[in-house]
Amino acid sequence: MSLTLPLTILVEGIVICGFALWRKKPFGELLVASLIANLLTQFLLWEALNLFPGFYLPTLLVMELFIWLMESAFLHYFPNSRLAWREALALSLGMNLASFGAGWFLPF
């Protein structure tokens, strides 16, 4: 887990920056919402993977779906984020696909 959190924050921060510039949304609020969500979801992801070590890929996929929805909610409801549900879902999906893709190549 030591490398995954900083990498996730970096990759997802880049996605947030691009999205905020493109859609004229508040970068700071989105970044803070993402940081809070990632602290929680990374912990939950690693706990689930440790709880079901023989089912790594199914657990990973189920947890990634859960993380996508949870982070979408954080992005939507975070004060002053100004994201509609559709935008929050799209941004979270982009963030998670980017960080999942980057993380896939890390040794565990």
**What mean pLDDT is predicted for residues 66-77?**
96
Give the pLDDT of residue 2: 65
Assess whether pLDDT exceeds 90 at residue 103: no
53 exposed, middle or buried (CB, 10 Å; 0-12, 13-18, 19+)? exposed
Instruction: Place 106 in a pLDDT band, splitting at 50, 70 and 90.
Output: confident
pLDDT tens, position by position, 32-71: 999 999 999 999 999 999 999 999 999 999 999 999 999 9
Select the more confidently predicted residue: 23 or 2. 23
Residue 53 gets which letter from DSSP?
A: G
Whose tokens are 């996730």? That residue is: 8
Where do the domains of the chain lie? Answer: 4-103
Instruction: Place 1 in a pLDDT band, splitting at 50, 70 and 90.
Output: low
